């Protein structure tokens, strides 16, 4: 026995020396062995004693003993229990046999080193249920590991009995890891299957057909619904398009005589904004017409509830998840060519020199005459008077914003989409093309005037503001690709509030977004506030606006994260087929053991390992070779060459 900590050094029948705390002794025998026999003889004696005691333990039927003692549960000392089990003469070996039997079957008696108490029937039922649950869990773990190994080796012809339960465990753990309720089970299965990386679960789920190789796990991770409830679909189907005669009798201003056009991406199906321009004697009258979505989606109805829970439509290279059911978003709400639609129109009086003289906002009906893609608008920029004049006004409005301190960041956009065979395709979009530029500026103009209208009428709304950047790199809207990229990193996040404030990035004194009510819930809320200012419905209160801002903070963050990650995934998937190709890159900054560089062709950042003897500085142009790409693991590596 060791000193103060009361630990014993013991020799076992298996010829092992162990140290245990004195308090852990369950039984002390009066028998003494002759230590002079030597270690081997001592072990032989210990083994013989142990075999005898095990044989005695096997004679005890613990369940039968419990049946006899459980009607009157109480503590029974070791000596009495030994006498009950062995009615004839007993010794230390019999006592040890009793203790060994109790250890072997622990769910009938609670015991301490020198006494025992039979569990009640209720306690026993709970213990047995827990044991069965543990056994079931062990069978599940064994089955899961066997399934993974069989699929991995290619020998699995059929799924195990509990394959669906196992699949849900694998999915949950892959998506949420330590936050999964199945974390411990999944880890045990992976350990038994000698699966070291969590990617192995993804590969297994693909192999058994639960997921596809390009599964968008973020939609599952962030619980994004891809379908609509039956109630929302039924309500959407029940909303009928108002007849032309009915629309003309609603008291809205009839603008169907105006030549009106939309300019959108080639794959757009939900058209929510249109433009018109009239030449007057001494000025131009620009019309910015937004689909009156709030006319159909009412506050608090099933469609509104689902739109609020989603927050926004989600546009991905391989999928589009609408905020409103497509039967509405792409039909009744959409400003489709040749159809009369209700709208909220902003008519802007502009001088011949491009100055804004006045504006008016009112409910209207319009009919789109021309539905143009950006490409078609660009091609007709020099031949269409309407597009040319709108473009000139857009340029002048931007110049005014720049003179007021706006930060105009000009960066190409990398558009990623899938062809008809599912192969990712990439093209570089010039966001400064005439069509894109004029649409961007017209929407900024419309949103600014909507903010002015709401502020002047003291109507709370979801106003956007932006503090000054951390540092100012760009001057007067000009700058290199490097400067534009780095300036974007210096911008502060926009702020949402129920009251207006200055938007530094746009150079405007107030700003809202109201131009995409089909696609964004914030815009739908703002449109409702505009309608309230026009007497069409009751407004949200300031408290309600602030609650909506808070409620949508998480969903909107998730939408942004999902769109960014999925675009990056498919861009990396595209680059997986371009390993070994050389690309021009701009050095952005030096890091610990590498440089951060921007691949110009794809506008994507990655690390460039430092090369001995080469010292690079920000804005240097270098040629790199794509070395390794793994879209699923978000890996892109390059080297100098």
DSSP sequence for 246-264 = HHHTTT-EE-TTS-EEEEE
Residue 478 is predicted with a pLDDT of 79
CA 397 – CA 409 distance, rounded (Å): 16
* Residue 354: DSSP 8-state: S
Of 275 and 244, which is predicted with more confidence?
Answer: 275
Using pLDDT thresholds of 50, 70 and 90, give the confidence band for residue 233: very high
With a cut of 80, say whether residue 185 has pLDDT above it. Answer: yes
Write down the mean pLDDT value for the chain: 93
Of 540 and 34, which is predicted with more confidence?
Answer: 540
Q: Rounded to two decimals, what is the model's pTM?
A: 0.84
CA 154 – CA 627 distance, rounded (Å): 31
- In SS3 terms, 619-630 reads as CCEEEEEEEEEE
Category of 582 on φ-ψ map: left (φ > 0), alpha (ψ -120 to 50) or beta? beta
Backbone angles phi, psi at 561, to 5 degrees: -65, -45
Using pLDDT thresholds of 50, 70 and 90, give the confidence band for residue 299: very high
Q: What is the DSSP string of 62-129?
A: HHHHHHHHTTS---EEHHHHHHHH--S---HHHHHHHHHHHHHSTTSEEEETTEEEEPPHHHHHHHHH
- For the stretch 125-166, pLDDT in tens is 998 899 899 999 999 999 999 999 999 988 867 788 899 999
CA 309 – CA 556 distance, rounded (Å): 10
CA 626 – CA 580 distance, rounded (Å): 5
Residue 5 is predicted with a pLDDT of 62
Exposed/middle/buried for 35, CB within 10 Å: 0-12, 13-18, 19+?
Answer: exposed
Backbone angles phi, psi at 184, to 5 degrees: -65, -40
Helix axes 434-456, 385-403, angle to 10 degrees: 60
- For the stretch 431-456, pLDDT in tens is 999 999 999 999 999 999 999 999 99
Residue 596 is predicted with a pLDDT of 96
- Asked if residue 241 lies in contact with residue 332, where contact means CB atoms within 8 angstroms, the answer is yes
Which residues make Cβ contacts (< 8 Å) with residue 556, sequence separation at least 6? 311, 312, 522
Which residues make Cβ contacts (< 8 Å) with residue 594, sequence separation at least 6? 607, 608, 609, 610
CA 369 – CA 257 distance, rounded (Å): 10
Least Cα distance to 526 among 513, 536, 538, 511 occurs for 513
- For the stretch 458-475, pLDDT in tens is 999 999 999 999 999 998
CA 267 – CA 471 distance, rounded (Å): 38
Side-chain half-sphere of 519: how many Cα atoms within 13 Å? 17
| Whole-number Cα distances in Å, 363 to 70, 218, 254 | 83, 40, 9
Percent pLDDT > 70 in the chain is 99
With a cut of 90, say whether residue 486 has pLDDT above it. Answer: yes
Of 608 and 352, which is predicted with more confidence?
Answer: 608
Which of 34-38, 80-84, 397-401, 438-442 shows the lowest mean pLDDT across its residues?
Answer: 34-38
Tally of CB atoms within 10 A around 329: 23
- For the stretch 1-15, pLDDT in tens is 454 567 888 888 999
Using pLDDT thresholds of 50, 70 and 90, give the confidence band for residue 237: very high
- Asked if residue 582 lies in contact with residue 624, where contact means CB atoms within 8 angstroms, the answer is yes
Residue 622 is predicted with a pLDDT of 96
- In SS3 terms, 119-148 reads as CCHHHHHHHHHHHHHHHHHHHHHHHHHHHH
Category of 15 on φ-ψ map: left (φ > 0), alpha (ψ -120 to 50) or beta? left
Using pLDDT thresholds of 50, 70 and 90, give the confidence band for residue 624: very high
Residue 579 is predicted with a pLDDT of 97
Which of 548-562, 564-578, 612-626 shows the lowest mean pLDDT across its residues?
Answer: 612-626
Of 239 and 192, which is predicted with more confidence?
Answer: 192
Residue 483 is predicted with a pLDDT of 96
- For the stretch 522-564, pLDDT in tens is 999 999 999 999 999 999 999 999 999 999 999 999 999 999 9
Cα torsion 566, 570, 576, 578 to 10°: value is: -130
Tokens of 570: 């498919």
Mean pLDDT across 270-299: 95
Residue 477 is predicted with a pLDDT of 64
- Asked if residue 324 lies in contact with residue 278, where contact means CB atoms within 8 angstroms, the answer is no
> In b/e form, how buried is each residue of 229-249, taking b as 16+ CB within 10 angstroms?
eeebbebbeebeebeeeebee
């Amino acid at each position: 026995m060791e000193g103060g900590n009361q630990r014993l050094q013991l020799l076992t029948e298996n010829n092992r020396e162990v140290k245990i705390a004195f308090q852990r002794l369950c039984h002390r025998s009066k028998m003494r062995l002759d230590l002079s026999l030597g270690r081997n003889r001592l072990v032989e004696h210990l083994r013989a004693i142990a075999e005898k005691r095990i044989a005695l333990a096997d004679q005890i039927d613990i369940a039968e003993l419990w049946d006899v003692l459980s009607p009157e549960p109480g503590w029974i000392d070791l000596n009495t229990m030994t006498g009950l089990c062995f009615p004839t003469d007993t010794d230390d070996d019999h006592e040890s046999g009793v203790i060994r039997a109790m250890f072997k079957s622990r769910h009938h008696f609670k015991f301490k080193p020198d006494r025992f108490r039979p569990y009640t029937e209720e306690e026993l039922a709970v213990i047995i249920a827990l044991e069965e649950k543990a056994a079931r869990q062990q069978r599940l773990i064994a089955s899961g590991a066997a399934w993974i190994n069989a699929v991995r080796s290619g020998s699995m012809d059929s799924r195990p009995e509990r394959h669906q339960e196992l699949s849900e465990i694998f999915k949950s753990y892959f998506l949420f890891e330590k936050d999964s309720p199945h974390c411990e089970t999944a880890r045990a299965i992976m350990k038994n299957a000698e699966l070291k990386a969590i990617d192995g679960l993804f590969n297994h789920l693909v192999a058994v057909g639960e997921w596809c190789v390009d599964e968008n796990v973020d939609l599952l991770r962030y619980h994004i619904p891809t379908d609509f409830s039956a109630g929302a679909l039924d309500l959407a189907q029940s909303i009928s398009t108002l007849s032309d005669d009915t629309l003309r009798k609603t008291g809205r201003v009839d603008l169907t005589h105006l030549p009106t056009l939309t300019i959108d991406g080639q794959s757009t199906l939900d058209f929510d904004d249109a433009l018109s321009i009239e030449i007057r004697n001494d000025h131009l009258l620009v019309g910015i017409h937004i689909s009156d979505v709030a006319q159909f989606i009412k506050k608090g109805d099933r469609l509104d509830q689902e739109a609020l829970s989603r927050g926004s439509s989600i546009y991905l290279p391989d999928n589009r998840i609408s905020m409103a059911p497509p039967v509405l978003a792409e039909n009744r709400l959409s400003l489709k060519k040749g159809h009369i639609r209700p709208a909220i129109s902003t008519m802007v009086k502009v001088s011949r020199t491009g100055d804004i003289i006045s504006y008016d906002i009112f409910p209207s009906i319009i009919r789109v005459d021309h539905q143009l893609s950006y490409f078609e608008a660009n091609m007709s920029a020099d031949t269409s008077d309407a597009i040319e004049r709108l473009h000139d006004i857009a340029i002048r409005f931007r110049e005014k914003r720049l003179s007021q301190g706006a930060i105009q960041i000009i960066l190409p956009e990398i558009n990623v989409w899938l062809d008809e065979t599912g192969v990712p395709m990439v093209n570089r979009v010039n966001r400064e093309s005439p069509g894109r530029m004029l649409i961007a500026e017209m929407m900024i103009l419309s949103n600014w005037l909507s903010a002015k209208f709401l502020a002047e009428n003291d109507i709370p709304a979801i106003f956007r503001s932006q503090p000054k950047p951390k540092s100012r790199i760009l001057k007067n809207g000009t700058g290199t690709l490097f400067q534009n990229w780095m300036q974007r990193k210096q911008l502060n996040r926009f702020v949402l509030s129920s009251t207006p404030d200055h938007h530094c990035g746009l150079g405007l004194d107030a700003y809202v977004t109201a131009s995409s009510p089909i696609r964004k819930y914030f815009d739908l809320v703002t449109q409702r506030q505009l309608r309230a200012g026009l007497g069409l419905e009751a407004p949200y209160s300031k408290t309600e606006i602030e609650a909506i801002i808070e409620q949508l903070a998480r969903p909107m963050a998730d939408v942004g994260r999902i769109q960014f990650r999925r675009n990056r995934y498919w861009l990396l998937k595209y680059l997986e087929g371009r390993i070994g190709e050389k690309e021009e890159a701009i050095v952005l900054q030096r890091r610990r053991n590498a440089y951060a560089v921007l691949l110009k062709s794809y506008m994507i950042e990655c690390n460039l390992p430092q090369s001995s003897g080469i010292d690079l500085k920000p804005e240097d142009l270098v040629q790199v070779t794509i070395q390794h790409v793994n879209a699923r693991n978000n890996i892109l590596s390059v080297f100098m060459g």
